[in-house]
Chain A
Amino acid sequence: MTLRTPLICLALIALAGCTSTSGNWGWYVIDPTTPAGYNNIRFLLNGFGATILLSIIAAALSMTLGLIVALPGMSANRWIRLPSRIYIEFVRAIPLLPMLFWVFYGLPVVLKSFGISVSIDAFWGAIITLAISDSAFTAEIYRSGIQSINKGQTEAARTVGLTYPQTMRYVILPQAIKRILPPLANQFIYIVKMSAFASVIGMQELTRRANELVVTEYRPLEIYTLLILEYLVLVLIISFFVRWLERKMGADESK
């Protein structure tokens, strides 16, 4: 498998660091056999919960928002299509980090000027940003999945009397879902990785915790190595799930 090479490289680097006497590596900061190292590891791993929760909520919102944007985007009427197109082009053009700052610092001000007084904490600020930013991509995934279904299917459905919602529900979506789910699951990996940006607004997730530990321990190499491994494990678990999903869908298609 393609993953083997980078994993071996990582293991070799880690080994070299452990055995080196030159003092470049200081694994003691995350050595589970010492009380201090054990506490540090626990501190770092405690970020998993927030990263996972953040990603799951953001992904769920993004998938819902994406479908709401995608459906009018496929209308034959250009005026119905237009808002969807504008949304996608606009959102896709905004880099994640500036958008995060805007939502976290700016959005409460905007809302307040409309008389809505809500404070947006780091958790929801990150979720809103990730969900909106990602929804432009999920919308395109829905669109390409639905449009990949032959037009003849819609025509046949209409000739046997189905309405548009019925055609979507009983004919188009059951076929399109096989093409939509794998890229959608892939998009989830993107969200997990981008959730690291939440650290800059103070969200206590994996990256934030690593940063805080680096500040007190001053061992960035070891701590960030572990941080990368944390994301690697998370992403690997998701990609195995994606593979499984693809195999399952593929098997269904040949039936």
Chain B
Amino acid sequence: MSENSPAITISGLNKWFGDYQALKDVDLDVAHGERIVVCGPSGSGKSTLIRCVNSLEAHDSGTITVDGIEMTDARAVEAIRAEVGMVFQQFNLFPHLTILQNLTLGPIKARKLPKAEAEARAMAYLERVRIPDQAHKRPAELSGGQQQRVAIARSLCMEPKIMLFDEPTSALDPEMISEVLDVIVDLAEDGMTMIVVTHEMGFARRAADRMVFMDQGQIIETGTPEQFFTAPKSKRCQRFLSQILQH
């Protein structure tokens, strides 16, 4: 796992859902510490792409290598998942457990961490996402923004090297978006490698090292936020940006 090799290497990735090709020959390298924002119209394959990175979707052809581990068999998938945290659009907290139990389940059951240690770690991350006072509540008692911050803390408790965010703010009421984005920006500034699928262009400008624009299962354009927002090269990208930046 040398620091010189990329954190993630995706090459020639294809993914089909029945007759529908969701990803077409996708190539993408992500360096350690790099923050990538993936955007594009709905159905463009951006969620599918990051779901392939931790094998929530099995790809049909092409290779994915994460932190030097090539995704070949079930054991490799387990090893990769141990390095990759994921935050979902719908939070997916465990509703029958308290916030603290949500955070400690993985460390205790999968990492065999002693309970006290897992709880101390959980409290530290709850502190970091600024909701330590909610530790003993159930997810349903929290606001959407708080739930998503818990979901981020839950991922961080597994101490991943890479974080994937699948439209983390799309299910949130507008007034809660910034509290979640602030936490993600905070993580980015700490040097976490991350891929964020989002429509929040303000966030992309603030936090991204590189923009990836996808349409119809392909990567159409990549570039720095500066280039991307001021001088997009492709027509499709220009159209997309004009649509979402109008408002």
Contacts and interface: CB of A to CB of B under 8 A. Distances in A.
B88 interface: yes
Given A150-B92, A153-B92, A166-B110, A159 B155 contact: yes
A158 B56 contact: yes
Nearest to B111: A161
A161 B138 contact: no
A228 B140 CA distance: 46
Interface string B188-219: 00000000000000000000000000000000
Interface in B146-161: 151, 154-155, 157-158
A153 B154 CA distance: 13
Given A153-B92, A166-B110, A159 B81 contact: yes
A229 interface: no
Contact of A162 (B56, B90, B95, B105): B105
A142 B230 CA distance: 55
Nearest to A163: B110
Contacts of B158: 160-161
A152 interface: yes
Interface string B69-104: 000000000100110111010101111100000000
A218 interface: no
Contacts of A160: 105-106, 110, 154-155, 157-158
Given A152-B88, A156-B88, A255-B138, A162 B94 contact: no
Interface stretch (A80-88, A120-128, A167-175, A235-243): A167-175
Contacts of A157: 94, 105
Interface string A162-205: 11001000110011000000000000000000000000000000
Nearest to B103: A160
Interface string A120-161: 000000000000000000000000000000101101111111
A163 B95 CA distance: 19
Given A161-B110, A162-B106, A155 B96 contact: no
A153 B90 CA distance: 10
Contacts of B169: none
Given A161-B110, A161-B111, A162-B105, A175 B88 contact: no
Contacts of B157: 160
Contacts, number: 60
A156 B139 CA distance: 14
Contact of A175 (B84, B95, B154, B155): B95
Q: Would you call the interface of chain A mostly helix, strand, loop, or mixed?
A: helix
B235 interface: no
A159 B54 contact: yes
Interface in B27-56: 54, 56
Contacts of B106: 160-162
A170 B92 contact: no
Contact of A170 (B56, B85, B105): B105
A152 B87 CA distance: 11
Given A161-B111, A162-B106, A156 B81 contact: no
A161 B82 contact: yes
B109 interface: yes
Contacts of A162: 105-106, 109-110
Most buried by A among B85, B106, B154: B106
B208 to A, nearest CB: 23
Contacts of B84: 159
B94 A159 contact: no
B12 to A, nearest CB: 24
A155 B88 contact: yes
Nearest to B55: A158
Most buried by B among A156, A157, A160: A160
B109 A156 contact: no
Contact of A171 (B86, B94, B151, B154): B94
Contact of A156 (B78, B82, B94, B96): B94
A152 B90 contact: yes
Contacts of B86: 155-156, 159
Interface string B156-191: 011000000000000000000000000000000000
13 contacts: A150-B90, A152-B90, A152-B92, A153-B92, A156-B88, A156-B93, A160-B110, A161-B82, A162-B109, A162-B110, A166-B109, A166-B110, A175-B95
The 5 tightest CB contacts between A and B, nearest first, are A160-B106, A161-B110, A156-B92, A152-B92, A159-B86
Given A158-B56, A171-B105, 8 more contacts: A153-B92, A156-B93, A156-B154, A159-B54, A159-B86, A161-B78, A166-B109, A170-B109
